[in-house]
Amino acid sequence: MKILTFLLAGAAIGVLGGRAPARAEEAPAQLSGVTVVARSPLSEAQAERDEIPAAAVTLDAADLQPGQGSALLQALERRAPGVALSDAQANPYQPNLVYRGFEASPLQGSAQGVAVYVDGVRFNQPFGDTVNWDLIPEAAIRALTLEGSNPVFGLNALGGSLSVRLRDGFSDPGGSATLSAGSFGARNAEVAYGRADGDLGLYVAASARDEDGWRDFSPSRVRQVYADLGLRHGPVELHAGLIAADNDLTGTGPAPVELLAADRRAVFTYPDETRNHFGLLRLSGDVEASPDLTLQARAYVGRLRQQTRNGDATDAAPCDADPALLCLEAEGPVLTDAAGAPIGDVLHGGPYAQLNVSDTRTTSSGAAAQLVWSRPLLGRANSLTAGASLDMGWTAFSAQSLLGALTADRGFAGMGGGGGVLVDQPGGPITPVALGARTRYAGLYVSDVWQAGPRLALTLSGRLNRAEIRLSDHRGTALDGDHSFTRFNPAAGLTYRLGGGVSGYLSYAQANRAPAPAELSCASAQAPCSLTNFFVADPPLKQVRAQTVEAGLRGRHGAHGLSASWSLGVFRTATADDISLVASEVRGRGYFQNVGRTRRQGVEAQGQLERGAFSAYASYALTDATFRSPLVLNSPDNPAADAGGQIFVRPGDALPGVARQRLKLGLSYAPEPWRVALDVTAASGQILFGDEANLQPRLPGYVVANLSAGWRLTPAMEMFLAVRNLTDARYATFGTFAQTDQVALAEAPGAANPRSLSPAAPRSVLAGLRLTF
């Protein structure tokens, strides 16, 4: 009842008062040099950045430089303070985005703490809240905004939200075609065209990218298509959009440090393949009912099929009790096949390998509607945004493990000419899984911005989240379960214009994340799941709650042809019942558990200068991410673990995978017809995953530089060059531990150091030609 009263009160604020004068039409990304950002999931509802009581970074298509891998993520890594990319998979299209110590990742098992929207459609997948970056059509990106925690963006906005806006024929007429090629067999082609003809607008884009990969067995193939058909008639604007992708991605993952020292291109085990087949149809409509009232609606339906194949070493070995049979470790239980028969030691001691195979088929659909009402309150400007959303998902997930031979180059090979022997241990840690999951995420939100004075703006917002998850075990009843989570998250903030182009902000916000079906299906230490996508057992996980406080200053100045902008901010996010993937005693498996309280706090600063053809930027972020509750975690491969394979986390220990300090610099000079740009990123070291107790040396820090250049041959033709990792620095952005001494490494005989890193790519060059028409 209190929640309903709050929502009705917020709506009443917007309705009170007299009629406001009509507003000028806002540009999508900038208006008279003033940056505007999305203030709700439906990205067309925008506000000036100086009215947002939180840090916000907005980039446009010009910031997406050509290169290998995701241009969207690379742009955020270059320009946004507090953003880093972690190459857990070591695939350029599958990095983890880390923002303020929270992740948005394509990998099951990553704690998802950033809400991602594409043209107002929630892009976190229903089954694991994962974000598949390879599915976003980068050729059609118009602008994107990354901002701090805001409950209006719904589930997963613990650390913040990322909103991506795509092009249409009205906003982006004209066309382009791009061809490029470069290091490691990179071959890219991209075409885009937009046109407006009276009331009709059309935009289409398609891209094809292929590369062999710089490490062994690491090719990738990406195919993306985007189309948008728009209709404008009077106050009504309608759009139908389509996104389609068909991608084959190969990850190589971390490898033991001694193996990398002998051959940096080598992989520990293979294959590690992900195939994504994706389609999304979006319908949207905006109606300007009056000069001060706009109604907006979105509806979508999507389909994703994801297939994975992951080869790994295994604990299968001849049994001590009967060497003719295989056990899970020599003293463990006897391995059985699909018929329940014991699996024999056909390789006479091995070495054996395991192939984990999964198939995820998800259908998602949803709708959202909101009104934006701008009317004075007590004689001062006031803007109310109120809306509702419903996102539903239906997932069929299946997974199984096959036993085979470990080849000399550490690949998987089937035994006896087949594809491998299916391992099925009913009630044990290795068994096939067939799971159905239904999700229903509903939200009601309201946000009101009132100009309380000539310089002061007050923001009040809140969102009610309801998550319902039903799991159905298609092979039994162990995974059956109904789960529901409800939470109301309020937020309040203010901005104040100090004068001289300087303004300040202060805010408080709450957010939450419900456990994903993938996590709810894997939370038992007695029945761990495969790190690549297996799930067993029905757990009692709690939802994650976060409270964020932000404060800062930002300014914009201009004189004598020089323009400058800057910002300085501090933040603190305290979470309760954070969820983490914990290693199991069984090789390659783990389980999810709530890990108590964590805290992420820090300082972010950035500045930019522009004068004529010259521009420069700099940013610095200090992120202090720590555990705040004592924990006992399994980490059997950590050399500092006790005899039982456990480590003891103390309050104040740093979270793994988060660099404490990060500095970014950039310079560009563009006198027609030339342009050249150089950017540099420096990061301090980070804790390895599996070393949450901070007992081992950190992953070393690094400095990496990138160069881009272009030459406009004609007004419609440009040649370009992009060089990543200009100095060929050797560094890594992800580290963990592995049972190195259990696998023979021909390149590094006798290797026993369990430290395993995902090495960053060496220097790469990409050259191409772009035509505009």
| Domains along the sequence of the chain with CATH | 2-772 (2.40.170.20)
User: Cα(364)–Cα(304) distance, rounded to whole angstroms?
Assistant: 8
What's the pLDDT at 244?
98
pLDDT surpassing 90 at residue 531: no
Lowest mean pLDDT segment, chosen from 39-43, 167-171, 372-376, 405-409: 39-43
User: Cα(131)–Cα(105) distance, rounded to whole angstroms?
Assistant: 5
Shortest CA distance to 342 belongs to which of 323, 357, 358, 314? 323
Question: Is residue 252 a contact partner of residue 215, using CB atoms and an 8 Å limit?
Answer: yes
Mean pLDDT calculated for residue range 108-136: 93
What's the pLDDT at 52?
87
Mean pLDDT calculated for residue range 699-723: 96
pLDDT surpassing 90 at residue 421: yes
pLDDT surpassing 90 at residue 479: no
Q: Compute the Cα dihedral for 260, 263, 268, 274 and give only its sign.
A: positive
- What confidence tens digit (pLDDT) does each residue in 185-197 have? 999 999 999 999 9
Shortest CA distance to 167 belongs to which of 190, 144, 198? 144
pLDDT surpassing 80 at residue 139: yes
What's the pLDDT at 352?
93
pLDDT surpassing 80 at residue 8: no
What's the pLDDT at 38?
63
What's the pLDDT at 538?
37
Which residue is associated with the tokens 């999305």?
Answer: 38
What's the pLDDT at 534?
40
| C-beta atoms surrounding 156 within 10 Å | 27
Give the C-alpha distances (Å, rounded to integers) separating 678 from 458, 667, 726, 732. Answer: 40, 5, 10, 21
Question: Is residue 745 a contact partner of residue 267, using CB atoms and an 8 Å limit?
Answer: no
What's the pLDDT at 428?
73
Higher pLDDT, 559 or 588: 559
Which residue is associated with the tokens 């066309």?
Answer: 175
> Cis bond leading into 333, ω under 30°?
no
- What confidence tens digit (pLDDT) does each residue in 737-751 have? 988 887 889 999 989
714, β-bridge pairs: 717
Higher pLDDT, 19 or 305: 305
Query: In angstroms, how far apart are the furthest CA atoms of the chain?
Result: 87
Q: Which two tokens stand for residue 592?
A: 């999810």
pLDDT surpassing 50 at residue 30: no
Phi and psi torsions of 725, nearest 5°: 55, 60
What's the pLDDT at 2?
40
- Confidence band for 416, pLDDT divided at 50, 70 and 90: low
What's the pLDDT at 32?
37
- What confidence tens digit (pLDDT) does each residue in 172-184 have? 999 999 999 999 9
Mean pLDDT calculated for residue range 374-378: 92
- Confidence band for 585, pLDDT divided at 50, 70 and 90: low
- Consecutive H or E run containing 329: none
Q: Which two tokens stand for residue 370?
A: 């909101």
What's the pLDDT at 225?
98
What's the pLDDT at 535?
35
User: Cα(95)–Cα(674) distance, rounded to whole angstroms?
Assistant: 32
pLDDT surpassing 60 at residue 480: yes
pLDDT surpassing 80 at residue 119: yes
Mean model confidence pLDDT for the chain: 89
What's the pLDDT at 319?
95
Lowest mean pLDDT segment, chosen from 356-360, 554-558, 579-583, 597-601: 579-583
Could you give the 3-state DSSP secondary structure of residue 70?
Answer: coil
Question: Is residue 224 a contact partner of residue 191, using CB atoms and an 8 Å limit?
Answer: no
% pLDDT > 90, the chain: 75
Beta strands (DSSP E) in 81-235 are 83-86, 96-99, 102-104, 114-118, 121-122, 141-147, 160-166, 174-182, 186-197, 200-211, 220-233
Mean pLDDT calculated for residue range 645-660: 95
User: Cα(678)–Cα(723) distance, rounded to whole angstroms?
Assistant: 10
Question: Is residue 322 a contact partner of residue 409, using CB atoms and an 8 Å limit?
Answer: no
Core vs surface per residue 489-528: b (16+ CB within 10 A) or e: bebebbbbbeeeeebbbebebbbbbbbbbbbbbbbbeebb
Q: Residue 711: what residue type?
A: W
Lowest mean pLDDT segment, chosen from 144-158, 274-288, 463-477: 463-477
What's the pLDDT at 17?
37
What's the pLDDT at 69?
84
| C-beta atoms surrounding 662 within 10 Å | 24
What DSSP line would sit under 700-751, residue for residue? P-EEEEEEEEEEEEETTEEEEEEEESTT----EEEEEE--GGGS--TTSTT-
Beta strands (DSSP E) in 451-561 are 456-473, 481-499, 502-513, 529-530, 544-559
User: Cα(28)–Cα(44) distance, rounded to whole angstroms?
Assistant: 8
What's the pLDDT at 29?
37
Core vs surface per residue 676-697: b (16+ CB within 10 A) or e: ebbbbbbbbebbbbbbbbbbbe
